[in-house]
Amino acid sequence: MFLRIPYRSRISALLGALIALVAIAWPAAASQARTSVHHRRAHTTHHRHKHKKKHKKTKKHSTHVTPAAEPATNLIRGVTIAYGGSEAEIQQEVNEAKVLHAQVVRLNLSWASLEPEHQGQIEQAGLRQIDTVVHTAAADGLRVVVLVQSTPCWASSAPLAIEAECNPHHAGAANAWPPSNDSYYGDFLAELARRYGNELAAIEIWNEPDYAGENYLAGPDKAGEYAGLLKAAYPAIKAADPNIAVLAGSLVGSNGVFLRDLYADGIKGYYDGLAVHFYTLTLTALRSIHAIQLENGDNTPLWLDEFGFPSCAPTSAQEAEQSCVTQGIQATDIANIVHSAVRLPYVASTILYKLRDTAGNEFGVLSANGARKPAFASLASAFATPFASPSPVVLHLGPQAGGVLAFGGGPVGSVMELEVFKSGHLLYGLTFTLNVNNTFSTRLPASLGTTGLTVRLYQLGTSPTTAAQLSI
């Protein structure tokens, strides 16, 4: 849950995402035009210039104008919460989620902790805590998404040397191995479905099986093992309560390699949505994984049920393998993801990770002591009015040492594309990512000259007609 893909793996995922997007998102004319591009390279720089926003003056009218109603949306909005505290603490978590205009709260449950000793023998203290969360949320009009992972010692398929060290009451390496019989997992999920019924919005099958390490799902054939878990879980849950959505995937990778393996293992028909945990280039990753879905005849909705930004800058540069941002940038970034994701018709949910900070984990919109960060108000506004516009793409041009400097920025989440035209011909293209402040600065090749140029900037995967464009 807390670890993310290593840096080099994230770069590989980005390249895979770019390839997928190039294949599906650009019209043929644009593809043909790119055969004349003189130079293209990956580029990320830091823009140190500060710019004032220009505000347009609005005309005053004597008559009252009723604001346009927010368009209806089926986008499920929510936040991951903790559930290990007292009843009062749980109530406070739910209260804050309600203030955020959340519709669901999400929990990460450990099967190993809830059924530690024997099949069918549920640990009652842990179950009562979950009862408190689910029923408290329901009383406030929120439903619950539960992610269930971690195999109990008695069910683990871990090698004997690892299994021998398994402690039923402490997490260890054996818990990451899949069960020796997938029906054990299906039976446990069916019990949850029967117990909570329509108080549950969805059950998410395991956590991040494609993670590069052995943290969540261990063993030599992760895709095959995960497909087995899914095939056991889906019919068991549906038999208990057909109205609970079953979420497959919990994927962190967007290049499609693991998902294609899952398709080859026959997962289609065993889920109602595909869960994804995308923290880096979230929107590019969504577009990329959806392209893989369509290639394989899969049109089930994507549940973005983990995304977020750690507000650990300027004291730290990285946390949980994600780049640290300031609290102000965190607030802006969270809102922009919601405002952009709602415009992708195949995305069913945006669930933030997470409500409250914990030690060494500052993804929350509340600090560890419960104080509201700027991101709290930003998320509440985004959930209340998801169709508000994200931050605009901004482009500036200026002279630099006999050449042209292009700089600006845009909303978080997408790979950017900069194109330079002269006399209507595309001469230069640059694909890059924004820095942690969502800005960039790059010097155009001197060979392009300093006059007669038209430059446009847009998010890759969106229409170039919506680009920021300037001429010099």
The residue extents of the domains of the chain are 26-50+391-471, 76-384
> What integer pLDDT is reported at residue 85 of this predicted model?
86
- The answer regarding whether domain 76-384 maps to CATH 3.20.20.80 reads yes
Residues 6+ apart with CB under 8 A from 152: 111, 112, 115, 116, 117, 168, 175
How many percent of the chain have pLDDT more than 70?
85
Confidence of residue 34 (pLDDT cuts 50, 70, 90): very low
Distance CA 320, CA 215 (A): 13
Q: Where are the alpha helices (DSSP H) in 140-241?
A: 160-163, 182-196, 222-240
pTM of the model as a whole: 0.86
**Nearest residue to 79 (alpha-carbon basis) of 333, 361, 352:** 352
> What integer pLDDT is reported at residue 149 of this predicted model?
98
Q: What is the arrangement of strands in the sheet containing 468-471, beginning at the earlier edge strand? A: 42-43, 425-432, 416-422, 453-459, 468-471
What mean pLDDT is reported for the chain? Answer: 88
pLDDT digits (tens, 9 = 90+) for 307-317: 999 999 999 99
pLDDT digits (tens, 9 = 90+) for 213-263: 889 999 999 999 999 999 999 999 999 999 999 999 999 999 999 999 999
Q: What pairing do the DSSP bridges indicate for beta strands 273-277 and 302-307?
A: parallel
More confident residue, 306 or 68: 306
Helix and strand numbers (H, E) in the chain are 12, 18
Q: What separation, in Å, do the N-terminal and C-terminal C-alpha atoms of the chain show?
A: 48
CATH topology classification for 26-50+391-471:
Immunoglobulin-like (2.60.40)
> What integer pLDDT is reported at residue 32 of this predicted model?
28
> What integer pLDDT is reported at residue 435 of this predicted model?
97
- Calculate mean pLDDT across residues 66-71: 56
